[in-house]
Structure 1
Amino acid sequence: MLLTISDMLDEKGLLETHALIETLRWRDGAETAGSTAKHVKHNLQADLSSRTGVKLCKQLLVTISAHPVIRAAGQPRRFSEPVVSKTVEGGAYGLHIDNAHMGTGDSRIRTDLSYTLFLSDPQSYAGGELVIERAGETLSVKPDAGSLVLYPSSSLHRVAEVTRGARLAVVGWIESTIPDAGEREMVFDLENLRASLSPQLAPQSAERLILDKVIANLIRKFSAA
């Protein structure tokens, strides 16, 4: 399942995010890559250890974790700390697979879903598409600033070379309460059905109660211990 959420950050949210990012320091992105990915990772990564960086992380996590589509599609248990990346002219991130686990100690999570939150106007840079390999097809996405792309962490993916301008993005990972992608998609389909039928069904109608029951029991059945 690949989803593009177009309203993750509105204009005000984008302006606030950019204002915070402008004060951050940058380092070589390869420093934080795995043993294989570091050979194909050619970008910059923001140092988020400052007070401003901590504030930015908190704001991003609150916004992303509260979005109804993230909650319905991801059934999140935990979120990683977000990563802010900048890819300038000549930079790219070659084909790779995300690590199965991210973080250390209590913050260590299993990566079921990955996301990229695009922060740059697509007209301000050339290249920089997020390219995701799936069985029998290759998907290339470059949405508007403020849009978030959610996709399975199990997918091979890359960031195409930026040939003009600079690409700013936030990336992160979600550990789901439902590890199996097929079961997670089944619940998401039912959540969408419930949302579309809500205007037509009274909260205590038999149909709505049965649908609520099925969704709750499937989540209970599919959830990891």
Structure 2
Amino acid sequence: MFLTLSSVLNARDLARVLKKTGDLDWQDGARTAGGRARAVKRNLQANLRSGPGAALHDFLMTTLSAHPVLVAAAQPARFSRLMLSKTGPDGRYGRHVDNPLMGEGPDRLRTDLSFTLFLSDPATYDGGDLVVEGVSGNHSAKPAAGDLVLYPSGDIHEVKPVTRGERLACVGWIESRVRDAQARTTLFELENIRASLGAKLPPDAPDHLALDKVISNLVRRWSAG
């Protein structure tokens, strides 16, 4: 699944986030990369564990975890802690695969899905495209500020070099309660059908209850744990 969700952050919330990035403590992003990824990572990352960064982290997490389309597509059991990255001229994040497990202790999770929430207006920087090498071919994304791209963590991906301006993005990972990717896709398709029927049929139409039953039983069958 390679999915772009539009306007996950609205204009007001986006402006709020961008205003707060100037108060953050930025560090070498290579410190958080593992294995081969460390050698190809050239960016900065913000400290989101204390001070203004902690409040910004909580705001972004609340917004993302409540987004209905992201929830329907990812079937999240848990989100990782979020990272905020800044990539300037000559910065990049070369081809790599995300670690299969992230975090420590009770926060440790399996990375089924990765996401990038774009924060910079694409007209303000050159390069910086997110490229994901999927089974069905390569996907390249440089969407509007406030849009989010969701993709499998196991796919090789990269952030192309930035040649002008500055690219700001929030990145994170999701452990899905539905481990099988095809099952997640099927549930997402059914959720889209449910939304479509809701706009076409009266609330008491029997089709609603029948579809609710199918989705509920598939979630029970496919959910981990």
Which TM bucket (shorter chain)? over 0.9
Tell me the equivalent position of 2:7.
Answer: 7
Secondary structure at the aligned position of 2:9 is classed as coil
Number of residues paired by the alignment? 225
C-alpha distance in structure 2 between counterparts of 1:159 and 1:56, whole Å: 23
Tell me the equivalent position of 2:42.
Answer: 42
Q: Deviations over 1:16-44 (max 9, x none)?
A: 10111110011110001001100000111
Contact 1:202 1:208 in 2 (8 A): no
**Shift in Å, 1:47:** 1.2
C-alpha distance in structure 1 between counterparts of 2:80 and 2:48, whole Å: 13
C-alpha distance in structure 1 between counterparts of 2:49 and 2:61, whole Å: 15
The within-5 A match list for 1:9-88 is 9-88=9-88
Tell me the equivalent position of 1:219.
Answer: 219
Does the alignment pair 1:161 with 2:161? yes
**Shift in Å, 1:101:** 1.0
Tell me the equivalent position of 1:176.
Answer: 176
C-alpha distance in structure 1 between counterparts of 2:190 and 2:114, whole Å: 22
Q: Deviations over 1:79-116 (max 9, x none)?
A: 01110000110010000000111111111111111000
C-alpha distance in structure 1 between counterparts of 2:10 and 2:208, whole Å: 32
The within-5 A match list for 1:73-152 is 73-152=73-152
Gaps of 5+ in 2: none
Q: Deviations over 1:161-215 (max 9, x none)?
A: 0001110000000111101100000000000000001122333432111100000
C-alpha distance in structure 2 between counterparts of 1:199 and 1:158, whole Å: 39
C-alpha distance in structure 2 between counterparts of 1:161 and 1:116, whole Å: 16
The worse-fitting range, judged by mean Cα deviation, of 12-21 and 119-128 is: 12-21
C-alpha distance in structure 2 between counterparts of 1:177 and 1:204, whole Å: 30
Contact 1:78 1:175 in 2 (8 A): yes
Structure 1 runs of 4+ aligned residues shifted over 6 Å read none
Q: Aligned partner of 1:23: which letter?
A: D
**Shift in Å, 1:136:** 5.0
Q: Percent identity?
A: 53
RMSD between aligned residues: 0.9
C-alpha distance in structure 2 between counterparts of 1:25 and 1:51, whole Å: 9
Q: TM-score, normalised by structure 1?
A: 0.98
C-alpha distance in structure 1 between counterparts of 2:10 and 2:34, whole Å: 33
The worse-fitting range, judged by mean Cα deviation, of 54-63 and 204-213 is: 204-213
C-alpha distance in structure 1 between counterparts of 2:223 and 2:179, whole Å: 7
C-alpha distance in structure 2 between counterparts of 1:49 and 1:149, whole Å: 24
Q: Aligned partner of 1:188: which letter?
A: F
Secondary structure at the aligned position of 1:199 is classed as helix
Secondary structure at the aligned position of 1:169 is classed as strand
